[in-house]
Amino acid sequence: MRRKIILGTAAIVVALVTVAVMEMTPLYTATAVVMLDQRKHNLEDSVALFSGLPADQSTIQNQIQILTSLELGGRVVDKEKLRDDPEFNPARGALPSFLSTLNPAHWFGMRKTEADAQQLDAERSAVIHRFLDRVSVSQIGLSTAMNVSFRSDNPRKAARLAAAIANAYVEDQLEAKFQATQKATQWLSGRISNLSKEAQLADAAVQQYKAEHNITTTANGVSVVDQQIADINGKLVAARTEMAELQANYDRLLALAKNGKASDSAQVLASPLIANLRAQETQLTSQMANLASKYGPRHPKMLDLEAQRQTLSDKINEEIQRFVSSAKNDVDVASSHVASLEASLRQAEAQGAGQNQANVQLTALQSAATSARAMYEAFLGRLNQTQGQEGIQTPDARIISNPEVPGAPSSPKKELAIGLSIPAGLVLGFILALIIERLDIGFRTTAELERLMGVPVLATVPEVELLTEGETPVKAADLISTKPLSAFAEAVRGLQLGLSLSNVDDSPKVILVSSSVPGEGKTTISLSLARSAARGGLTAVIVDGDLRRPTVAKAVGLTDIQNGIVETLAGKASLTDCLYKDPLSNALVLPCSSIPASPTDVLSSKAMQGLVARLRDAFDLVIIDTAPLLPVNDARILGPLADTCLLVVRWEKTPREAALNAMRLISDTHTPVAGIALARADNERFRYYSYGYQNYYSYSKYYSG
């Protein structure tokens, strides 16, 4: 089935593509190459007003939009007179042109109305849109070059119109530059006239303000008072610096003097007087050291030398104190100088306070005058530059490759389209087949069923159409007796063999046959198993365990039954009176002749257990056809009474979830599940999904019809 879907879909796709490409009109593509020119063509070193386009991606995309714009397309349409070309204006074809000659207005020159003008505008717009539909523009890599292509059913026309588009684009750029330059020149001229007047008025305002406020300035434009303040500030900074240095020197000497270390300062050490006094002090100290070994400290000579040394020490201290006083005096003088300069600065600032207020307004007027003059000069230079560019403007793009007449059509590519349609059709067919399979909720292969359910598939029973022999219909279960060599009968025998081999040591005698939902074919399987066993020489009985919707009697062909399983369980009839012989085999049938009020109570009764035990002793094989597992609990009640269970799953119809739930329900009763019967399989379709079944049907010649 999958193969048919895939191949059929592929064939349809190939056929449709073939027909489509054969019906297409061949189109030829010619291409011109246009490059944005970033070179500057200025005669002066200054930057021109319109000196080229930046070569970024946004600029290139903007140029592509211009090349495909209605404005540019309209120019080409008008220049090339494409409104008269039937390729772009079908109304100008042979038949429409002939019909237009029949219009009286064509011969008598009747005046065109406003409606006619609107019709012509609409016609032109339609032609432009058809023309632009054939235009394609693309950037070449990351360069500033663009392919400008045009498609036409005539190769020479394609080349001519591709060149026309490129030329129109270059001309449009040049014209836009000329117009922009002219507009800029006009605007600059008017603006310069106003700026000249503004600059003159600003200069006059500065001069008038200076005269009114008696403001004089030096040669460099600075006022006299400001110059004085600047000079005093300079002197004040120097005086403060000098005072700070003197104060630091004084503080250092004073600190050393307090600690008795003033003699260590550089100033003291540099004094010749102190150096001489220290030399004398050193000499006396040496003499005292020499006499100390001869005389005691109270000796007159020792006391005289000590008095001389003390006199020298006092002179040294007096000289040091003089250095400290001198440093203090230097600080006081410097401080007085700073105070004098500060007073002079305050006086100068007070003198210039009024003038400074006037200078604020003067500065504003001077700034305005300078700005006005600078603006005027800048615009004047721009005007001169723009006027110089008017005669030397060049476009920002140039044609670097003219279109050639194409030798072969660019579309449709018939061989390529048909070639690609084959794998495309196969892929589409595969996807379609996969979707169909995904949408299918049932089982198609025994491998899939066994993998999901966890038990073996004992047999695959084919679907058998209802046959007729004269006026009597032949049912599938009847083939066991009427056509014992048929594929259906062979499948049932395989199912019977699988059940017997499910437990080699103790072959099951009581077999429960059930399904997940109604309509799976369990009754047909049950009856077929009983008949097959009877034909093999076994004593077999089929019990209708579906007390809600009994179907065994109808399947066997029993019509007028008075007693059945309900009556024998209720003690109203003996088991012998309730057993009926199958018309097509030696199997016996225990049907359900009446539906009880509570089937669950009947099936779970002690009488039911006893009935199954009696049948087990009396027959070689007991087949119990039960109700489906999912709707009711009847099969789960009867499960523990059976040796094994056979679950019937309908091929391609039983939902996977339903089968899994049924398997779970019967497993919960601890009833052994011998396997699954995959019932009502389609003979023709099943072999596409199962290798084994395909070979099985290849041997169908061994089965008589």
497 and 620 share one domain: yes
> What pLDDT score was predicted for residue 243?
87
Distance CA 365, CA 205 (A): 7
Single-letter code of the amino acid located at 309: R
Q: Please say if the pLDDT value at position 267 is more than 50.
A: yes
Alpha-carbon distance of 105 to 41, in angstroms, equals 55
Does the pLDDT at position 399 exceed 70?
A: yes
Token duo for residue 366: 């001077």
- Tell me which amino acid residue 350 is: A
Identify which of 445, 561, 480, 398 has the alpha carbon closest to the alpha carbon of residue 36.
398
Quick check: 76 and 164 in contact, CB under 8 A?
A: yes
Q: Judge whether residue 3 has pLDDT over 70.
A: yes
Report if residue 310 sits inside a domain. yes
Phi-psi label, residue 421: left if phi above 0, alpha if psi -120 to 50, beta otherwise: alpha
Q: How confident is the model at residue 527 (pLDDT cuts 50, 70, 90)?
A: very high
How far, in Å, CA of 384 to CA of 185, rounded? 9
Residue 47: predicted pLDDT: 42
Q: Tell me how far apart the alpha carbons of residues 187 and 283 are, in angstroms, rounded to a whole number.
A: 102
Strands 673-681, 644-650: pairing kind: parallel
271 pLDDT more than 80: no
Query: Which of 566, 568, 584 minimizes the C-alpha distance to 576?
Result: 568
CA atoms within 13 A on the CB side of 188: 20
Contacts of 440 (CB under 8 A, 6+ apart): 652
Tell me the average pLDDT across 120-146.
Answer: 91
pLDDT mean over 8-24? 84
- Contacts (Cβ under 8 Å, ≥6 apart) of 609: 641
Q: Which of 23-37, 45-59, 180-194, 283-297 has the highest mean pLDDT?
A: 23-37
Could you tell me if residue 234 is inside a domain?
Answer: yes
Do 637 and 508 fall within a single domain?
yes
Question: Which of 87-96, 138-147, 350-359, 407-416 is the least confident region?
Answer: 350-359
Domain final residue, candidates 340, 372, 401: 401
Mean pLDDT to the nearest integer, 203-229: 73
Whether residue 131 is predicted with pLDDT greater than 90 in this model: the reply is yes
> How many domains does one find in the chain?
4
In a domain, 677, yes or no: yes
Q: In what order do the strands lie in the sheet with 588-590?
A: 457-462, 673-681, 644-650, 510-515, 621-626, 540-545, 588-590, 580-581
CA distance 214 to 224: 12
Residue 421, domain extent: 1-24+414-440
Mean pLDDT of the residues in the chain: 82
Question: Is the domain of 14 the same as that of 103?
Answer: no
Residues 545 and 675 reside in one and the same domain? yes
Q: What pLDDT band is residue 589 in, cutting at 50, 70 and 90?
A: very high
Q: Are residues 157 and 273 in the same domain?
A: no
Q: Is the pLDDT of residue 212 over 80?
A: no
pLDDT for position 308? 83
The answer to whether position 96 is within a domain reads yes
Contact 164, 151 (CB under 8 A): no
Q: What pLDDT is recorded for position 46?
A: 39
550 lies in the same domain as 660: yes
Residue 684 confidence (pLDDT): 59
Among candidates 330, 347, 337, 332, which has minimal Cα distance to 236?
Answer: 337
Q: Are 510 and 462 in a shared domain?
A: yes
pLDDT band at 354 (very low <50, low <70, confident <90, very high): low
pLDDT category at 467 given cuts 50, 70, 90 is low
667 pLDDT more than 50: yes
Per the model's pLDDT, the better-predicted residue between 470 and 43 turns out to be 470
**HEC letters along 386-430:** HHHHCCCCCCCEEEEECCCCCCCCCECCHHHHHHHHHHHHHHHHH
Residue 698 has pLDDT above 70, yes or no: no
Say if residue 432 is in the same domain as residue 472.
no
Q: What is the CATH number of the domain that holds 660?
A: 3.40.50.300
Predicted local confidence at residue 299, as pLDDT: 81
Q: Which of 282-286, 403-407, 410-414 has the lowest mean pLDDT?
A: 410-414
- pLDDT of 457 strictly over 80: yes
**Same domain, yes or no, for 471 and 349?**
no
Helix axes 114-133, 70-79, angle to 10 degrees: 100
The mean per-residue pLDDT over the stretch 411-415 comes to 75
Give the chain's largest Cα–Cα span.
Answer: 180
**What mean pLDDT is predicted for residues 385-408?**
78
Q: Quick check: 686 pLDDT over 60?
A: no
- Please tell me the least confidently modeled range out of 268-282, 522-536, 608-622: 268-282
Report the C-alpha gap between 150 and 148 in whole angstroms.
7
Q: Would you state the pLDDT for residue 220?
A: 67
Yes or no: say if 30 and 153 are a contact pair by the CB < 8 Å rule. Answer: no
Q: Are residues 11 and 69 in the same domain?
A: no
Asked whether residue 418 is domain-assigned, the answer is yes
Residues in the chain: 705
Tell which residue, 53, 286, 266, 319, has the closest CA to residue 169.
53
Helix (H) or strand (E) holding 568: helix 565-570
Instruction: Give the integer Cα–Cα distance in Å for 556 and 581.
Output: 9
Residue 183 domain-assigned? no
What is the DSSP pairing of strand 457-462 with strand 135-139? unpaired
Find the range with the poorest average confidence among 283-297, 486-500, 631-645: 283-297
Does the pLDDT of residue 503 top 70, yes or no? yes
Q: Is the pLDDT of residue 2 over 90?
A: no
Most confident of 115-129, 389-403, 526-540: 526-540
Looking at 254-258, 521-525, 595-599, which range is the least confident one? 254-258
Tell me which residue has tokens 């003690």: 571
* 211 assigned to some structural domain: no
Residue 608, in any domain of the structure: yes
Q: Identify whether the C-beta of residue 145 lies closer than 8 Å to the C-beta of residue 35.
A: yes
| Strand locations in 83-202 (E) | 135-139, 145-152
CA distance linking residue 16 with residue 20, whole number of Å: 6
**What pLDDT was estimated at residue 113?**
62
Same domain, residue pair 621 and 538: yes
H-helix segments, 502-564 = 522-535, 552-556
Do 348 and 460 reside in the same domain of the chain? no
Return the pLDDT at 250: 78
Q: Is the pLDDT reported for residue 44 higher than 50? A: no
- Binning pLDDT at 50, 70 and 90, where does residue 702 land? very low
Q: Residue 653: which residues within 8 A CB-CB, separation 6 or more? A: 442, 519, 520, 680
Q: Does pTM top 0.75 for this prediction?
A: no
pLDDT tens for 568-579 read: 999 999 999 999
